[in-house]
């Protein structure tokens, strides 16, 4: 089931069956708890994005405890702050697993932080639920990827911009923060664009450090690149608080969405809440969920979230929804297995379906990625997104890109007997644990 716009409909019947199943929990003393690790930066350059994910997990744990907890026990949150320090993520993950004895960890944002912790979760055989869009090229037995793979965000966004509805873009600026997610995503996008006949001279690539603040020269270069007589767009994989001065400089130099549209993969409602959105109106974001999605599930979630935070203006965003989906999948898999240990959950979670906030169900696939809709949104003056395009159904996350020569023949399937994260369908061999 590979391909950029493969819709996933066959799992709807299975989802209904799974959703209807119930499991009885053994009677266990209420003073015992199941500990849940929360591994998100509460300080440093990524706090702008990650702090709200910590709050989301506390909210979800509180909601689950109101329902009676899990397996007859209350859930207990254990929060640590890796402080946007990538090696510290590994240290804090080990602390959560070895010292605090958590049953699962929900956390990380950047791919460099995720890459930092992968060996820890593999060595200690614990579980990580990772809620953010990423570059793909990975499938690990102990990780569940609830954010978007490139074919669930980056590729559809570029395809939209190339279409007549998206402006028939011909020149491309790939602007990102200098680390693995933007670098690998842009490598995939370059290969995709060239496969569609885009000349190399019509692709400009630029990387900046985390927390970059002086955008004047770069934005001038973008402006000049876009003055060649071809419709130009910026594909932004800029992460964290560097987005604030980037968008300010776009406004300072008078770059409007109708001239050079920006489609961002790491800017959502939370980041926009801290910006003057006037110069951003009309620019785009690509996600799998927007706060503005009009479904009963989303309306109910927003109301409960704002009540929990005691803030009627508190926004929601895509990575939050990914945590909602991942947490509910974990709960359902634990109930199904009757245990919290990693091996039992890994065996029980494939095929588990839970409601998403956009309507319908998301399902955990054998490659440890989930099914998701893809939405393109236009930034509004109030910091919300107006959906201008979306897929007709759910898209299966593709862990290995079809556009990279070393990846196109690889699949991941963690079910027995294959149990492989990078099985080569051409050679019939497993390349290892699926970690690149």
Q: Greatest CA span in the chain, whole angstroms?
A: 71
Ramachandran region, residue 112 (left: φ > 0; alpha: ψ -120 to 50; beta: rest): alpha
Domain boundary among 329, 349, 372: 372
Question: pLDDT band at 14, cuts 50/70/90?
Answer: very low
Are residues 134 and 30 located together in one domain of the fold? yes
For the beta carbon of residue 128, count every other beta carbon within 10 angstroms: 25
pLDDT at 13 over 70: no
- The count of domains in the chain is 2
For the beta carbon of residue 79, count every other beta carbon within 10 angstroms: 15
The CATH number assigned to the domain holding 217 equals 3.40.50.2300
Question: pLDDT band at 5, cuts 50/70/90?
Answer: very low
Residue 435 lies in a domain: no
pLDDT at 135 over 70: yes
Are residues 299 and 280 located together in one domain of the fold? no
Are residues 181 and 281 located together in one domain of the fold? yes
Cα distance between residue 213 and residue 45, in whole Å: 12
Are residues 145 and 203 located together in one domain of the fold? no
Residue 400 lies in a domain: no
Are residues 186 and 280 located together in one domain of the fold? yes
Summarised one tens digit per residue, pLDDT across range 416-434 is 999 999 999 999 999 865 5
Are residues 200 and 316 located together in one domain of the fold? no
Query: pLDDT value at position 303?
Result: 98
Summarised one tens digit per residue, pLDDT across range 310-343 is 999 999 999 999 999 999 999 999 999 999 999 9
Residue 100 lies in a domain: yes
Are residues 100 and 43 located together in one domain of the fold? yes
Are residues 132 and 248 located together in one domain of the fold? no
Summarised one tens digit per residue, pLDDT across range 280-310 is 899 999 999 999 999 999 999 999 999 999 9
Query: pLDDT value at position 31?
Result: 52
Do residues 70 and 335 touch, judged by C-beta distance below 8 A?
yes
Residue 367 lies in a domain: yes
Query: pLDDT value at position 244?
Result: 85
Question: pLDDT band at 25, cuts 50/70/90?
Answer: very low
Are residues 331 and 258 located together in one domain of the fold? no
pTM, to two decimals: 0.88
Cα distance between residue 305 and residue 319, in whole Å: 14
Cα distance between residue 422 and residue 432, in whole Å: 7
Which of the two residues, 149 and 21, has the higher pLDDT score? 149
Query: pLDDT value at position 29?
Result: 39
Question: pLDDT band at 407, cuts 50/70/90?
Answer: very high
- Average of per-residue pLDDT values in the chain: 91
Sequential DSSP letters for 304-364: HHHHHHT-TT----HHHHHHHHHHHHHHHHHHHHTS-SHHHHHHHHTT-EEE-TTSSEEEB
Residue 392 lies in a domain: no
Query: pLDDT value at position 279?
Result: 77
Are residues 136 and 175 located together in one domain of the fold? no
Domain boundary among 372, 405, 420: 372
Average pLDDT over residues 202-226: 96
pLDDT at 8 over 50: no
Reading the block at residue 205, the tokens are: 């690539």
Are residues 41 and 76 located together in one domain of the fold? yes
Question: pLDDT band at 18, cuts 50/70/90?
Answer: very low
Query: pLDDT value at position 433?
Result: 54
Residue 389 lies in a domain: no
Residue 409 lies in a domain: no
Do residues 399 and 367 touch, judged by C-beta distance below 8 A?
yes
Do residues 144 and 163 touch, judged by C-beta distance below 8 A?
no
What are the CA-CA distances from residue 394 to residues 12, 134, 175, 192, 372 (Å)? 10, 18, 28, 21, 5
Which of the two residues, 76 and 30, has the higher pLDDT score? 76
For the beta carbon of residue 406, count every other beta carbon within 10 angstroms: 12
Least confident span in 195-199, 269-273, 328-332: 269-273
Query: pLDDT value at position 134?
Result: 95
- Domain boundaries, position 199: 152-287
Residue 5 lies in a domain: no
Question: pLDDT band at 26, cuts 50/70/90?
Answer: very low
Q: How far is CA 191 from the centre of its chain?
A: 22
Domain boundary among 260, 287, 314: 287
Query: pLDDT value at position 161?
Result: 97
Summarised one tens digit per residue, pLDDT across range 47-100 is 999 999 999 999 999 999 999 999 999 999 999 999 999 999 999 999 999 999
Question: pLDDT band at 6, cuts 50/70/90?
Answer: very low
pLDDT at 197 over 50: yes
Question: pLDDT band at 19, cuts 50/70/90?
Answer: very low
């Amino acid at each position: 089931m590979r391909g950029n716009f493969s819709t996933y409909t066959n799992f709807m019947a299975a989802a209904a069956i799974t959703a209807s199943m119930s499991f009885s929990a053994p009677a266990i003393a209420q003073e015992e708890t199941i500990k849940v690790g929360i591994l998100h930066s509460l300080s440093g350059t990524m706090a702008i994005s990650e702090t709200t994910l910590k709050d989301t997990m506390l909210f979800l744990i509180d909601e689950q405890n109101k329902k009676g907890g899990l397996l007859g026990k209350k859930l207990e949150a254990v929060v640590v702050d890796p402080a946007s320090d990538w090696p510290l993520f590994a240290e804090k993950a080990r602390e959560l697993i070895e010292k605090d004895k958590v049953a699962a960890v929900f956390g990380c944002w950047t791919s460099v932080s995720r890459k930092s912790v992968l060996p820890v979760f593999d060595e200690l055989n614990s579980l990580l639920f990772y809620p953010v869009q990423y570059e793909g090229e990975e499938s690990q037995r102990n990780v569940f990827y609830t954010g978007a793979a490139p074919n669930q965000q980056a590729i559809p966004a570029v395809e939209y911009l190339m279409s007549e509805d998206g402006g028939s873009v011909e020149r491309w600026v790939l602007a990102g923060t200098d680390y693995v997610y933007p670098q690998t995503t842009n490598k995939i996008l370059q290969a995709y664009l060239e496969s569609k006949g885009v000349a190399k001279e019509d692709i400009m690539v630029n990387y900046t450090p985390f927390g970059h603040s002086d955008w004047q020269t770069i934005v001038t270069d973008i402006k000049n690149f876009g003055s060649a007589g071809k419709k130009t767009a910026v594909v932004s994989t800029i992460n964290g608080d560097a987005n604030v001065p980037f968008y300010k400089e776009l406004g300072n130099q008078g770059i409007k969405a109708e001239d050079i549209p920006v489609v961002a993969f790491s800017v959502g409602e939370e980041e926009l809440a801290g910006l003057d959105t006037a110069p951003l109106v009309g620019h785009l974001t690509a996600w799998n969920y927007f706060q503005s999605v009009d479904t009963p599930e989303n309306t109910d979630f927003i109301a409960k979230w704002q009540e929990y935070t005691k803030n009627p203006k508190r926004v929601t965003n895509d990575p939050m929804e990914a945590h909602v989906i991942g947490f509910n999948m974990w709960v359902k898999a634990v109930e199904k297995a009757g245990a919290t240990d990693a091996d039992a959950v890994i065996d029980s979670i494939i095929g588990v379906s839970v409601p998403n906030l956009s309507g319908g169900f998301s399902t955990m696939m054998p490659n440890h990625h989930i099914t998701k809709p893809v939405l393109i949104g236009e930034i509004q003056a109030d910091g919300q997104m107006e959906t201008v395009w979306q897929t007709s159904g759910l898209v299966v996350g593709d862990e290995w890109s079809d556009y990279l020569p070393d990846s196109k023949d690889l699949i991941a399937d963690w079910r027995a007997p294959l149990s492989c994260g990078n099985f080569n369908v051409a050679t019939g061999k497993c390349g290892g644990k699926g970690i690149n």
